[in-house]
Every structure is written in structure tokens, then in C-alpha cells.
Amino acid sequence: MKTFLLPHKFKSVGWTLLVPSAILGLIHLIFEPSFLVINTKLFAFLNDQFLSETGYFTIVEANLSNTLLGIFFIIGALLVAYSKERTEDEFIAGMRLSSLLWAVFVNSVLLVFAFMFFYGLAFLQVMVYNMFTILILFIARFHYVLFKNRNQVGDEN
């Protein structure tokens, strides 16, 4: 099976983007948006603010911190998830595929849970976090399985 994976060197770049953006994102989440404010004017295809007129193809003033943290997190997570391991073989490809299937399944279970028990703005907030969960689950599961496998191989020697 032919897969598209980036060279291994991109993994370190991914971790360099992912870890700081995750930490800053958590701080931003805990201490509210006042912790990091980067207000600037931006182009928007659609601007639909609460109690204001909907604007199409317009310039808006917005806090860029959420956008930057989200972009850096997603790019970092994609680089980590789609970079080859030092030794990429069929066994690792199988672990990668099973981890991805596991992440999609767990993410779907979490979505069903959210549909059943979250409503209103809380549901919208859960959906925003859900944009990141599948990548987080995949990375966590894949590296856990790699770690567990390397320890089992080390124990056999």
C-alpha cells in the first residue's frame, strides 16, 4: 500500500509548532481571551457577528490569537502525524492505520456523547474542540503503540 508521508525531519518541526501552541492554547482557554490579544484588521469571506449586519467579502477587526494558535496547532499536529518514523516499514504502517481507525472510532463515540448531553453554546464549544481531537487522539494512540512495541522488543532481547 502506497502512502504519502513527509520525511522524518518534519516531525521535529511539527513538535516545535504543536507543543507551544497547545500550551498557549490551554492557557488561553483557562485565562480567557484577555491573556493574549492581537487585534488587527483581516479580510473575511463572511462576517456574521451577534446583533450586527452580516457582511460578505469584508474587512473586519478581530483578535488574531485564536486563529494563529489554531493554525499552528493544526499544522504542527499534521506534521507530527504525517511524518515518517526513522524506520518506516509495513508493521509501522499497520500501527499507523490501526491508530487512525481507533482515533476515528473514539472521536465518533465522543461526538455521539456530545450530541446527547451538550446543548446550546456548550455544544458549539464542544464542536470547536472536536476539530482538534481526532489529530490528538491519533498522535497519542500511535506514539503509545510505538512506545509499547519498542518496550516489548527491548524486553525480548
Whether the per-residue pLDDT at 157 is higher than 60: the answer is no
Q: Which sequence spans correspond to the domains of the chain? A: 1-84, 88-157
| pLDDT of 153 above 70 | no
What pLDDT band is residue 33 in, cutting at 50, 70 and 90?
low
Please say if the pLDDT value at position 7 is more than 90: yes
- Is the confidence at residue 119, as pLDDT, over 60? yes
CA triple 45-111-135, angle to 5 deg: 70
For residue 67, the model assigns a pLDDT of 87
Note whether 33 and 66 are within 8 A (CB).
yes
Q: What is the DSSP string of 99-125?
A: HHHHHHHHHHHHHHHHHHH--THHHHH
- pLDDT per position as a tens digit, 121-135: 899 889 988 999 999
Is pLDDT of 1 > 60?
A: no
> Phi first, then psi: what are they for 4, rounded to 5°?
-95, 110
End-to-end CA distance of the chain: 30
- Asked whether the CA dihedral 101, 103, 105, 108 is positive or negative, the reply is negative
Nearest to 72 by CA among 132, 32, 137, 134: 132
Q: What is the pTM of this model?
A: 0.84
Residue pair 111/133 in contact by the 8 Å Cβ criterion? no
The partner residues of 21 in beta bridges, in order of sequence, read: none
- DSSP tag of 33: G
